[in-house]
Amino acid sequence: MPKAQTILITGSQGQVGQSFMRLADQCPHYSMVFVDRTKLDLCQHEQVRQYFQHNQFDLIINCAAYTAVDKAESDTASADAINHLAVKQLATIAKEQNVKLIHISTDYVFNGQQYRPYIETDPVDPQSVYGVTKLAAEQAIMQTMENNALIVRTSWVYSPTGSNFVKTMLKLGAERDSLAVIYDQIGTPTYANDLAQAIMTVAQSEEFNKAIFTTEIYHYSNEGVCSWYDFAKAIFGESGLSCQVTPIETKDYPTAAKRPAYSVLNKSKIKQTFNLTIPYWRESLKMCLAEL
């Protein structure tokens, strides 16, 4: 029997990292090692290098990220350290040790001024510090690893754990009779469990496990399109909360970081390359709510 592949999953306490933890029992052919910042601080570059000198992996799945989008505007150094410089070092080590790398990126690399779903080769133009640092990581990977890396851009991630829009709406919906939610930002929610499952499908595929897999960017979110207003109404509808939702414009809810007005991702490439079937966002929302 072939030796089980060993996968390092960073950012294990985040939404996607936690989703990989839930998947571990379903992946007996993989030995999964989970690390969070307390076990491996990716910003401590010497510590990281020593860690990889003493531990060998077949694949790194990087779920670690600075995701406080508004805070990043005033905490640029921290956002860049985690989202960019740490990733650059991971890519360098992965290349040196011939380890494959899967990195999670974001729809925030786009400016949101388009009105058709974004494909992987569309021009990038991030409008926030968060988006700039995530794009810098993509570029570092592409420049460092011509082969054996895969970047997955995703959007509007939520799960039963951590801080996210679904949990915020459930909390506020239980406390208030009405809420105002933005209707002019359009995208697609992504259930973290679906994203983790899709990444594992990719990791197990013949295509990704070729001797040389050319480094590529792919898009993944759930299927469908909605606004934050639509998403909130669906959350309340599915959970039985009677909170009234009023639509408001982005300009009426100012934030430190600019959000893309439109960030629907075209998923044709990942579906065709890896034969993926992607769930519709409302169905995945039901799955998440059932776990809460």
3-class SS of residue 226: strand
Strands (E) across the chain are located at: 5-10, 30-35, 59-62, 100-106, 149-154, 157-158, 178-182, 186-187, 190-191, 216-219, 226-227, 244-248
Tell me which H or E stretch contains 37: none
Residue 3's pLDDT band (cuts 50, 70, 90): low
CA-closest candidate to residue 158, choices 64, 284, 258, 24: 284
Q: What is the mean pLDDT of residues 242-252?
A: 97
Instruction: State the pLDDT at residue 232.
Output: 99
How many whole angstroms separate alpha carbon 285 and alpha carbon 48? Answer: 36
Is the per-residue pLDDT at 211 higher than 90?
no
The domains of the chain are located at: 5-164+188-223+264-279
Q: What is the mean pLDDT of the chain?
A: 97
Number of residues written out for the chain: 292
How many whole angstroms separate alpha carbon 141 and alpha carbon 162? Answer: 27
Q: What is the mean pLDDT of residues 152-161?
A: 98
| Catalytic site positions | 130
Is the per-residue pLDDT at 291 higher than 90?
yes
Q: What is the mean pLDDT of residues 105-134?
A: 98
The CATH code of the domain at 5-164+188-223+264-279 is 3.40.50.720
CA-closest candidate to residue 87, choices 124, 121, 42: 42
Higher per-residue confidence, 101 vs 211? 101
pTM over 0.85: yes
Q: What is the mean pLDDT of residues 197-202?
A: 98
How many whole angstroms separate alpha carbon 144 and alpha carbon 149? Answer: 10
Is the per-residue pLDDT at 1 higher than 50?
no
Higher per-residue confidence, 4 vs 43? 43
Instruction: Please state, for a pLDDT cut of 70, what percent of the chain lies above it.
Output: 99
Residue 228's pLDDT band (cuts 50, 70, 90): very high
3-class SS of residue 9: strand
Residue 4's pLDDT band (cuts 50, 70, 90): confident
Q: What is the mean pLDDT of residues 230-252?
A: 97
User: Ramachandran region of residue 160, left (φ > 0), alpha (ψ -120 to 50) or beta?
Assistant: alpha
pLDDT tens, position by position, 267-281: 999 999 999 999 999
Instruction: State the pLDDT at residue 153.
Output: 99
Instruction: State the pLDDT at residue 43.
Output: 98
Q: What is the mean pLDDT of residues 67-82?
A: 98
